Each structure stands twice: as C-alpha cells, then as structure tokens.
Amino acid sequence: MSNVRINIGRAWPEGKASLSVLNTAITDSGLDRGLVDLINIRASQINQCAFCLDIHTKDARAAGETEQRIYALSAWRETPFFSEAERAVLALTEEITLIADGGVDDEVFAAAAKHFDEPTLGQIIMAIVAINAWNRLGVTQRLPVGGYKPATS
C-alpha cells in the first residue's frame, strides 16, 4: 500500500478530536467491551479497513476474545459461537454499515431492541456509527497497517 494520503489529525485536529470524544463517550458509557469489539471488527471487515482491523482484532485478543470467534466473525450466521444478543448486534451492525442497501430493516432493529434497553441500544448504534466514521477515515487516508500494539493492563 502506498504512503498516507493525508493526516486528518494534522489537517483538521478539531475534527479528529471530536470523533475521539465520541469514542471516549462510548467507552465511558459502560457498553460491554466485548460487544464493542465485535461491532468494530465486523464493520471494519465490511468496510475493508485493514488499519482498523489490525487495531480491533489485537484489542479484542488482548481483552480475551477467542481466535475462533474472531476468525468466524465474517461468517457469524453460520457458526454457533455467538449469543442471540450478539447476533442481533451483528445484524444491526451490518444493516447500519450497509445503509445504502435499503436502510435498517424493521425486523433487524426489533431483534436488537428485544435484547437491549433504549439507552444501551442508543450506545450500540453510536458505536456502529463511530467505527464506520473511523473506517472511512482509515481507508481514505491509507493509514499504515501492522504497527499497532494494544495497551497492556
């Protein structure tokens, strides 16, 4: 892959900082870390953001996610590895990420709403929106892949 096209943090630091504030709010919301990892990885797979996949798969592993679930995530419907609630979130992640394909299906939304109260569902939706924004930045900037090291506890 070629060099970075543009460094958004340098070009418009206030814009990148605003998106970082959203990430902090999601982290501070109490939304389950494992669920956020699944959202981040699945959306990044769909959006083909290698930079974000590098980060979020490493973070998920560091947080205890299994290799089996990470490897199977792109085919989650075909595996027994995900709970009903996780499946609902993964379906919602796909609908929001691929929103131009027809919006968010009522049944998909209802399935997610069945498992989560309104504040938590709002947090899930914002987590999906945030990773989609980061994916678009990563792909557009052509950020380098492979150098990320997860924080240690």
Q: Is the pLDDT of residue 153 over 80?
A: no
pLDDT of residue 151: 86
Global pTM reads 0.95
Q: Is the pLDDT of residue 1 over 60?
A: no
Encode pLDDT of 10-50 as tens digits: 999 999 999 999 999 999 999 999 999 999 999 999 999 99
Q: Is the distance from CB of 70 to CB of 61 less than 8 angstroms?
A: yes
Distances (CA, A) of 38 to 13, 72, 143, 152: 28, 11, 21, 20
Q: Which domains does the chain have, with CATH numbers?
A: 14-141 (1.20.1290.10)
In this structure, which amino acid lies at residue 84?
E
Count of residues for the chain?
A: 153
- Cα distance between residue 133 and residue 55, in whole Å: 15
Encode pLDDT of 58-82 as tens digits: 999 999 999 999 999 999 999 999 9
